[in-house]
Amino acid sequence: MTSPVPDAPDAPDTTADGAPAAFPLARSCPFSPPDGYAPMREKGGLTKAVIPSGKEVWLVTGFQDVRTALSHPAAGSDARHPAFPALGDGEQAVAAELRPFIRMDPPEHTRIRRMLVGEFTVKRVRAMRPAVEAICREQADRLLSLPAPADLVGEYANRVSTTVICRLLGVPMEDLEFFRRITSVSGARTSTAEEVGAALSDLFGLIDRLIDEKAQEPGDDLISRLVNGPLARGEITRTSLLSQIGITLNAGHETSRNMIPLAALDLLRHPDQLDLLREDPSLWPGAVDELLRHLSVADVITLRVATGDIPLEGATIPAGDGFIALLAAADHDPRAFPDPGRLDITRAQRNHVAFGYGAHQCVGQNLGRLEIEVALRVLFEKAPGLRLAVPLEDLPLRSTSAIFGLDEVPVSW
Amino acid sequence: MVNPAPGLRLAADADVCAGAGQCVRAAPELFDQDDDGLVVLLAADVPEDSRARALDAVDLCPSGAIALRGHPAPPAPDTGADRLPPGP
């Protein structure tokens, strides 16, 4: 175990001359947003910050402002825009070239997103529950057969999330480490454009082969349906299809991999909340949304450029400027969520922005909720004595990725 | 529609729908998704006992695809709203 090494200052630069704060900020605690967010939000309006590329961007921190900004028609997501506030060099270059639908604007974005939304309806995801349960049971049994302590991230969450997304897409899951390596490189702010490009070309090689195979022999999976539907009809190019499959695989894997262990720890440090769930399992869906809000692991994924003025409560994002809507700041806004630092699984509000907001809100969110719920339920059912095997302070925080998480969580049971 | 709440009517616009399914989670008696994931309005007139869930659905919709009609701006539906039914 190494000590946490923050890659960024943990508080904004509050110099008297109003110099822009350096961004991104690191979390000092895995269960709370970076300490610097609260003062920005309390001050109201927008905060000017400088990102590692040297660009100045606006940070949006209030709950209402974040929702307004992200759902405004002038909130542009096109990574080719020079003001696009990418946090890593690799991120902008690769997104501008590969054009995943999360970094596109309408009408292009709408057209591509609509090829995917039918795969993730509430009904279809509900039908996946037995399969997800089987995967979680198998992986929990495997985890608990290992000598304790074992790593909850690598030996459980990573396996669950990879298996679920690969099964959905129709990707053979021969090598867990392959996906881990791809996503850890492509999602890291510290990766260069070349490193990201090399990792993705390995991934694309695999998807490219799958496209040919599934054109010949379609299966009951997402890639088969896209290959024999939109691709066959000429509605999407092969290159674009590769990008869209790549981003779906990446996003579907990385998010639940990070959420499941963090959520498990969050419940372990709130034994009263865990007891409530043990007494009344019907509380689980609400608990998952509260955990999503409380942890908001995709905090900085909402990078935008204002393509026109965007008026907020106390300020306006000027046309042409880049901005980042901080999801964890919004989800901890006490005006929207009373006592936001408290994990309260019976909270009535479900309007958190952990999945973003606006036309880009996470397309796989219903699957994400299902995976988190089932993975945690099965884990706590099979390992009622689950506990962290090292002091919490010893866990290294992974602050250089697009999705916040812990690299390793040793647990005993 | 035994007892519609006076004035509380819903409208849904599949053209701007992002297919997130939040309305179906919030109020499955009022909304569905078609096979392509886009919003289908099951009941435009909101029964009184669905009122809180209808307001919740409008609030949760990320893309502004569903709206209230013939009703003044709703109060923030984030307090005392019915709990969401079990998710997927």
**Residue A268 · residue A343 · CB < 8 Å:** no
Q: Is B74 on the interface with A (CB under 8 A)?
A: no
- Interface check B57 vs A, CB under 8 A: no
Note the pLDDT of residue A93.
Answer: 85
pLDDT of residue A291: 98
Contacts of A361 in chain B (CB under 8 A): 18, 20, 22, 62-63
Task: Answer whether A345's CB lies under 8 Å from A273's CB.
Answer: yes
Min Cα–Cα distance to chain A from B54, Å: 13
Active site residue A371: yes
Which residues of chain B lie closer than 8 angstroms to A356, CB-CB? 62
| Residue A18 binned pLDDT confidence (cut-offs 50, 70, 90) | low
Task: Evaluate whether ipTM surpasses 0.90.
Answer: no
Quote the CA–CA distance of A24 and A87 in Å, as a whole number: 8
Whether pLDDT at A116 is above 90: yes
A184 pLDDT higher than 80: no
Question: What residues have CB less than 8 Å from B14, skipping those under 6 apart?
Answer: B34, B38, B39, B40, B65
Chain segment A55-94, per-residue pLDDT in tens: 999 999 999 999 999 999 999 999 999 999 999 877 888 8
Is A191 catalytic? The answer is no
Most confident of A183-187, A202-206, A345-349: A345-349
pLDDT above 70 coverage of chain A, percent = 95
A339 at B interface, C-beta within 8 A: no
Is A362 one of the catalytic residues? Answer: yes
Instruction: Supply the pLDDT for residue A17.
Output: 52
Reply yes or no on whether A166 is catalytic: no
Count of all residues that appear for chain B in the document = 88
Assess whether pLDDT exceeds 70 at residue B83: no
Q: Which residues of A fall within a CB distance of 8 Å from B60? A: 350-351
pLDDT at residue number A181: 78
pLDDT digits (tens, 9 = 90+) for A260-303: 999 999 999 999 999 999 999 999 999 999 999 999 999 999 99
* CA–CA gap between residue A94 and residue A198 (Å, rounded): 11
Which residues in chain B touch residue A285, judged by CB atoms under 8 angstroms apart? 84-87
| Rounded average pLDDT over B53-76 | 82
Three-state SS letters, chain A: CCCCCCCCCCCCCCCCCCCCEECCCCCCCCCCCCCCHHHHHHHCCEEEEECCCCCEEEEECCHHHHHHHHHCCCEECCCCCCCCCCCCHHHHHHHHHHCCHHHCCCCHHHHHHHHHHHHHCHHHHHHCHHHHHHHHHHHHHHHHHCCCCEECHHHHHHHHHHHHHHHHHCCCCCCHHHHHHHHHHHCECCCCHHHHHHHHHHHHHHHHHHHHHHHHCCCCCHHHHHHHHHHCCCCCCHHHHHHHHHHHHHHHHHHHHHHHHHHHHHHHCCHHHHHHHHHCHHHHHHHHHHHHHHHCCCCCCCEEEECCCEECCCCEECCCCEEEECHHHHHCCCCCCCCCCCCCCCCCCCCCCCCCCCCCCCCCHHHHHHHHHHHHHHHHHHCCCCEECCCHHHCCEECCECCCEECCCEEEC
Q: By the CB < 8 Å criterion, does B56 face chain A?
A: yes
CB B33 within 8 A of CB A121: yes
Determine the 3-state secondary structure of A400 from DSSP: coil
Which residues from A are below 8 Å from B22, CB to CB?
Answer: 361
Residue B70 binned pLDDT confidence (cut-offs 50, 70, 90): low
- What pLDDT does A65 receive? 98
Closest CB from A120, A125, A286 relative to B83: A286
Cα-Cα-Cα-Cα dihedral sign, residues A275, A280, A284, A289: negative
Is A282 in the B-facing interface, judged by CB distances under 8 Å?
yes
Pick the catalytic residue: A91, A119, A155, A254?
A254
Contacts of residue A286 in chain B, CB cutoff 8 Å?
83-84
Residue A256 annotated as catalytic:
yes
Tell me whether residues B33 and A359 touch, CB distance under 8 A.
no
Q: Which of A79, A362, A383, A402 is catalytic?
A: A362
The pLDDT, as a whole number, for residue A187 is 67
Residue A8, pLDDT > 60, answer no
pLDDT at B77: 44
Point out the residue among A119, A285, A365 whose CB comes nearest to the CB of B20. Answer: A365
Q: Is pLDDT at B1 greater than 70 in this prediction? A: no
Among A161, A240, A256, A296, the active-site one is: A256
The pTM is what? Answer: 0.91
For the stretch A250-260, pLDDT in tens is 888 889 999 99
pLDDT tens string A29-60? 999 999 999 999 999 999 999 999 999 999 99
Q: What pairs with residue A58 in β-bridges?
A: A48, A323
Of the residues A67, A112, A121, the best mutation for testing chain B's interface (the one with the most B CB atoms within 10 Å of its CB) is A121
Interchain pair A362, B20: CB under 8 A = yes
The answer to whether the Cβ–Cβ distance between B78 and A288 falls below 8 Å is no
DSSP single-letter state for residue B84:
P
pLDDT digits (tens, 9 = 90+) for A194-233: 887 788 888 889 899 999 999 999 999 999 999 999 999 9
Q: Which of B38, B62, B88 sits opposite A122 (nearest CB)?
A: B88
